[in-house]
Amino acid sequence: MAEIAKKQKKTLTAFPHKGTRTKVNTHAVSSPHQVLPDSTNAPFLSFAGTSKGKAPMHFADFSYDERKEKLKEKGYPAFRADQLSRHYFERHRIDEEELTDIPQAQRKDIIRSFFPPLLTKVRELVADKGKTIKSVWKLYDGHLIETVLMRYPKRTTLCISSQAGCGMACPFCATGQGGLQRNLSTAEIVEQVRLNMVMAENGALSGGPTRISNIVFMGMGEPLSNWLRVKNTLHRLIESPPNGFGLAARNITVSTVGMVPVIKKLKEEGFQVTLAVSLHAPDDELRDPLIPLNAKFKVDEVLDAAFDYYTGTKRRVSIEYALIKNMNDHEWRAELLAKKINERGRGWAHVNPIPLNPTPESVWTASTYEAQEKFVRILSDAGIATSLRDTRGSDIDGACGQLATEVKGGSPKARQARCAVDDFMETRRVQAEK
């Protein structure tokens, strides 16, 4: 127990909850938790903002029809909504000098009224020889969020945040340690996409200018607990210009730790996006302490909801499974996971075991290579599509949820959850010794 307690005193190390992680070559940073200085030269960024208020109203908060109404209310003709929507969603730019089809005299007022700056970049970290960029953005009230832009041979993926912080308090997740600051507005999520689109189109990633093809809701926050804004965002991402960006729904992934009733809503909305469920354990005994939400929605309920999503959308569900040494990487757990998936049907789920980088002196340690191999083999032999996840950007804490590695202490809920896991591990150890 003393050993566990000692470990507990250490700052919880970074961990990707639903995202990508592997050893990568980096420049600009020399260790996983070292960050570039920002303009204030502060060694750490504070995640606490100044309020829990609402973000200023923004053009991207509204549907196409609502935009027309809002412009009319301000005394502008409705067709300005079409012009502005095309600037925003087609060209991704809304600079005064580029609004050449809008009278000069109106531009300033339109920008001030409908396009307040919602995100200000405060840091940029580059990894994978320039193919991964993590950006830290300050919101209007001082809260911080992250995005991670990643170039792959055949796609460019952006990982976005849906909340400032997260209230789910998963004990292994850095983001969860600080608690929830607030939900992001629709426009705050959409702006993450637009601003990264501009970066990609301007050639920020090595390999030259490119377009973002894939979006994953795997940054800070539990997307389905900010459902209304995430739903609106999905409309903006998927609908064709001038309504939205016109991204392919099948290239968008929404992740969840298991908000069962909202998974149903996502299905009913009919978006055809990919659902990713962060399972991390196939049994309630372990998942209860690992994912506090499991107290409400048990493993079987979560898998039932995921299977129901598959039957309703015909979109194969991703099951995310972070492999943690001696915690959830046992062969019997791989077998149990395979059994639970297969008893619901064949071909409906794709399992992504996520190797965890070794983090010295933390209870959250990587599974051995052999354990990873065995885990994957057991699932594959059971006929389940399984791929060890390619994990980008971990050396810059670019994997999901890692930004908050800089949060110290943590919320009471998160501390309680960490204790629950420690208790669980201690019980297992004592049982093993008997």
DSSP SS3 for 107: helix
Of 32 and 401, CB closest to ligand SF4: 401
CB 139 to ligand SF4: min, Å: 17
Considering the complex, state which of residue 247 and residue 322 has its C-beta at the smaller distance from ligand SF4.
322
- Which amino acid type is present at position 35? V
Hey, which residues between 197 and 256 contact ligand SF4 (CB under 6 A)? 221-222
Please, which residue, 49 or 219, has the CB nearer to ligand SF4?
219
Residues in CB range of 81: below 8 A, 6 or more apart: 64, 67, 68, 70, 71, 242
The C-alpha torsion from 146 through 299 and 251 to 23, rounded to 10°, is 50
User: In the bound complex, which residue of the shown chain has the CB atom lying closest to ligand SF4?
Assistant: 176
Where in 125-184 is the site for ligand SF4 (CB under 6 A)? 166, 168-170, 173, 175-176
**Cis peptide before 56, with omega less than 30 degrees from 0?**
no
Q: Does 17 bind ligand SF4 (CB under 6 A)?
A: yes
Other residues' Cβ atoms within 10 Å of the Cβ of residue 319: 28
Q: List the x/- string, 253-272, binding to ligand SF4 by CB under 6 A.
A: ----x---------------
Least CB distance from residue 367 to ligand SF4, whole Å? 18
DSSP notation for 182-224: EEPPHHHHHHHHHHHHHHHHTT-STTS-----EEEE-SSS-GG
Ordered DSSP codes for 382-398: TT-EE-PPP-TTGGGT-
| Ramachandran angles phi, psi of 52, nearest 5° | -115, 25
Using CB under 6 A as the binding criterion, the count of chain residues that bind ligand SF4 stands at 12
- Residues 382-421 within binding reach of ligand SF4 (CB under 6 A): 401
User: Smallest gap, in angstroms, from Cβ of residue 320 to ligand SF4?
Assistant: 10
**In the complex, least distance from residue 99 CB atom to ligand SF4, rounded to whole angstroms:** 37
> Do the bridges between strand 120-127 and strand 132-138 make them parallel or antiparallel, or are there none, so unpaired?
antiparallel
For ligand SF4, the closer CB: 199 or 319: 319
Angstrom CA distances, 278 to 268, 397, 419, stand at 21, 19, 21
Q: Token match 């915690």: residue?
A: 327
Whether 170 contacts 17, CB under 8 Å: yes
Residues designated as active site: 146, 400
Residues in the chain: 434
- Nearest Cα residue to 21 out of 358, 405, 354: 354
Question: Closest Cα to residue 253, out of 293, 280, 223?
Answer: 223
For residue 361, the SS3 value is coil
Specify the residue, 222 or 329, whose C-beta has the smaller distance to ligand SF4: 222
Phi–psi pair at 391, nearest 5 degrees: -125, 100
Q: Which is nearer to ligand SF4, 164 or 190 (CB)?
A: 164
Q: How far is the CB of 173 from ligand SF4 (least distance, A)?
A: 3
Nearest residue to 276 (alpha-carbon basis) of 315, 226, 229, 230: 315
User: Which residue lies nearer to ligand SF4 by CB, 167 or 242?
Assistant: 167
Q: CB nearer to ligand SF4: give 393 or 401.
A: 401
- Alpha-carbon gap, residue 24 to 16, rounded angstroms: 15
Of 221 and 353, the one with the shorter C-beta distance to ligand SF4 is 221
Q: How far is the CB of 401 from ligand SF4 (least distance, A)?
A: 5
Residues of span 273-302 touching ligand SF4 by CB under 6 A: none
122 by Cβ neighbours in 10 Å (0-12 / 13-18 / 19+) ranks as middle
Smallest distance, Å, CB 174 to ligand SF4?
Answer: 7
Least Cβ distance, residue 164 to ligand SF4 (angstroms): 11
Minimum CB separation of residue 36 from ligand SF4 in Å reads: 23
Residues of the shown chain interacting with ligand SF4 in the complex, contacts defined by CB under 6 A: 17, 166, 168-170, 173, 175-176, 221-222, 257, 401
